[in-house]
Structure 1
């Protein structure tokens, strides 16, 4: 354990916390400073200058990362029997309806995303207290309540993620793995920034991107300047 601490301390010392790094520099640092024996996730934290209490400044949406996240997203497709056939080969780990709703009531949560169709949402209302706090309730704005569930499942499997500012105006998302290398992390980052730019409220005044940090699992935050 002592050797590991010394190694991590040395790696931490490679980061200048008073410096704002270019995206190229930050992407290289975050993928080269290895703090774990497993393939660490790379996360981005973006502090926006918006006020989430104002309806027109609640920034949320989805983005299709060009290189995905590197994670296997477990999809639960809550679909009535008559529509199961159309999504059979879309990649969802679980397909069904009433049986899975009952399992969720009983505490089963072995999934990451629910995809469903509008007519099913009335059945999910009573599950709000279970799914809501965990961010698992399907939402049309996230594309998880749709008349084309096959397309939505395919997009999620190939790198589509949802983003949403928290009450402090911060967006926090995983954008890949250390093993991706700096170029793929950079491209995923730029795609997210591009979509966020399009979400900027037309009436917004001030600094939109206030602070941006990249980090890997158990690693330090690296300040990024656009």
Structure 2
């Protein structure tokens, strides 16, 4: 694929095959952003797992958020609807919202929360919500009676992650207009969350390689030893 001169100039800033210390990698991510608007900062975490045997899935509260507004839909009834709305949910309700999704193809939201008693309704939307990664789950704290806490966490920058069929976790961790310190703290928080979800029985190196990039920029390999040391430090 033919690349623009701007992109090639950004690539020239990188040393091929080099794994950069965390802060240097973050600085390079900001420098190699090619768009005229703040791009999303993305991470690809290659895990030493057998995807057919091990599932890695969880949530992470990014200290500095994602840099984007998140529209939250809550499936609930009665007082829980009012609690969700008070916490900042963009939409809250029951069967009427499920019907709107089924009949009108309405998908003007990025995250979905449900109380356990609403899962019989939400389950019927599996073929619509599932492929889009919108299905609520107890594993990601999006099936809960504490809908207010779930909404606040999602609005504040809670993200979901999961390993794909190749054993790679792809996740956002901020925007390129964040400070380098904020991006580093978000990335370290993400790595900690992935470490906490290490499946039992995994042998050898769990986190094998980590790459970061701006949405339209080149991939930058992060020194895993430096990154893991930062993740294991307290505070």
The TM-score by the shorter chain falls in which range?
Answer: over 0.9
Structure 1 residue 105, shift from structure 2 partner: 0.1
Structure 1 residue 84, shift from structure 2 partner: 1.7
The secondary structure found in structure 2 opposite 1:105 is helix
Structure 2 unaligned residues grouped into runs of 5+: 225-235
The equivalent residue for 2:33 is 34
After superposing the two structures, state which structure 1 stretch, 73-82 or 110-119, moved more.
Answer: 73-82
CA distance in 2, matches of 1:195, 1:34: 26
Instruction: Answer yes or no: is the 8 Å Cα contact 1:31–1:181 preserved in 2.
Output: no
The equivalent residue for 1:173 is 171
Alignment match of 1:143 (pick from 141, 144, 148)? 141
Alignment RMSD, CA only?
A: 1.4
Structure 1 residue 147, shift from structure 2 partner: 0.8
CA distance in 2, matches of 1:123, 1:201: 31
The equivalent residue for 2:207 is 209
CA distance in 1, matches of 2:9, 2:211: 20
Structure 1 residue 162, shift from structure 2 partner: 0.9
Structure 1 residue 215, shift from structure 2 partner: 0.4
CA distance in 2, matches of 1:222, 1:194: 20
Alignment match of 2:193 (pick from 173, 192, 195)? 195
CA distance in 2, matches of 1:95, 1:122: 16
Structure 1 unaligned residues grouped into runs of 5+: none
CA distance in 2, matches of 1:95, 1:202: 38
After superposing the two structures, state which structure 1 stretch, 140-149 or 29-38, moved more.
Answer: 29-38
The equivalent residue for 2:78 is 81
Q: TM-score scaled by structure 1? A: 0.93
Instruction: Answer yes or no: is the 8 Å Cα contact 1:79–1:95 preserved in 2.
Output: yes
CA deviations over 1:179-206 (Å, ceiling 9, x no partner):
1121111111111111222222343211
Structure 1 residue 144, shift from structure 2 partner: 0.7
CA distance in 2, matches of 1:52, 1:171: 11
Instruction: Answer yes or no: is the 8 Å Cα contact 1:17–1:223 preserved in 2.
Output: no
The equivalent residue for 2:48 is 49
Structure 1 residue 89, shift from structure 2 partner: 2.0
2:88 aligned with 1:91: yes
